Amino acid sequence: MTEARYSFGGDEHIFVELAEEMSLQANFRAMAITTVLREQRPPGVLEICPANASYQVRYDPDAIEPHTLLGELREIEQRVGDATDFSLSTRVVEIPVLYQDPWTTETLMRFRDRHQDPDATDIEYAARINGLSGVEEFIKVHSGSPWFTSMVGFVAGLPFMFQMVPRERQLVVPKYLRPRTDTPKQTVGHGGCFGCIYSVRGAGGYQMFGVTPAPIYDPTQKLPDFDDFMVFFRPGDIVSFTPIDRDRYDDCVAEVEAGTFRITSRPVDFGLRTFLDDPDGYNVRLLEVLRAG
């Protein structure tokens, strides 16, 4: 654990960098600090935004003196410590994935001149550089453990996710050499150690492994998962990717079009210390919670 670095951004923001290296531990510390900050919510605090290894607070300088807020943030940092004893009330969610789907496959073939390995698909390349036997083993590893949502943003509704396995077992795949100008909506992608789901169609540089039929961003808020907010994911969500075939994908799309599709989710309390003591056992119990409903 390193001491946080605080800096002011203009007259309304404080940015707090908790670590220079991104990791589940650094991110969970940001989650713990921002959760405590929300609970005690000092007057004048307008927005609290956690990120991968940092967080930012927007405040009203007419309602709270900046150095007073800074002092409160330092006090919370000391109280939280390394966050290993903190318990986060969150949820585990199931995201169906059609791996090697026709839409991302067509897209990635259009942009092979921007890729490290023009003769392989993204998922074939990812399997090879991670020392796996092939696509089937890669899909098994990718979907075989949960993913922790470290932040949501950059593009509206897009979740960044850490794979919840010991660091030496994390899938690591570099981004494209040059970004694409196109990525299908709801593409399941990966760049560096981060997984993501593209919430909308647009440019991108992450490797493309498949697509989910589950909408994760609905500005119209017509679907039942978006009654409260147009963005589905929240920082701290734990994601389980479930491989599906084309028939199941088409069934899910039909449910989306009929307005009946729901993402399966269950409430859960996540504790970092318990996870670190037995990652594989903890993940099994998490997935049991998801299936128990």
pLDDT band for 198, please (50, 70, 90 cuts).
very high
How far is the C-alpha of 225 from the C-alpha of 87, rounded, in Å?
25
**What residue ranges of the chain are covered by domains with CATH 3.30.1360.40?**
5-82
**What residue ranges of the chain are covered by domains with CATH 2.40.100.10?**
89-292
Sequence-ordered list of residues with C-beta below 8 angstroms from that of 46, at least 6 positions apart, any chain: 12, 58, 59, 60
Identify the H or E element spanning 258.
Answer: helix 246-258
How far is the C-alpha of 155 from the C-alpha of 11, rounded, in Å?
25
Q: What are 40-93's pLDDT values in tens digits?
A: 999 999 999 999 999 999 999 999 999 999 999 999 999 999 999 999 999 999
The pLDDT, as a whole number, for residue 291 is 84
pLDDT above 70 covers what percent of the chain?
Answer: 99
| Residue 64 backbone dihedrals phi, psi, to 5 degrees | -145, 130
Q: Residue 93 in contact with residue 240, Cβ under 8 Å?
A: yes
Identify the H or E element spanning 268.
Answer: strand 265-271
- Assigned token pair, 258: 């009929």
In this prediction, residues 276-286 reach a mean pLDDT of 94
Q: What are 239-266's pLDDT values in tens digits?
A: 999 999 999 999 999 999 999 999 999 9
293 pLDDT higher than 80:
no
Sequence-ordered list of residues with C-beta below 8 angstroms from that of 248, at least 6 positions apart, any chain: 96, 98
Identify the H or E element spanning 137.
Answer: helix 135-143
In this prediction, residues 125-149 reach a mean pLDDT of 97
The pLDDT, as a whole number, for residue 50 is 93
Q: Is 5-82 a CATH 3.30.1360.40 domain? A: yes
Closest CA to 286 of 91, 155, 117: 91
pLDDT band for 3, please (50, 70, 90 cuts).
confident
Q: What are 201-243's pLDDT values in tens digits?
A: 999 999 999 999 999 999 999 999 999 999 999 999 999 999 9
How far is the C-alpha of 45 from the C-alpha of 30, rounded, in Å?
17
So what's the architecture of 89-292 in CATH? Answer: Beta Barrel (2.40)
How far is the C-alpha of 47 from the C-alpha of 60, rounded, in Å?
10
In this prediction, residues 153-181 reach a mean pLDDT of 95
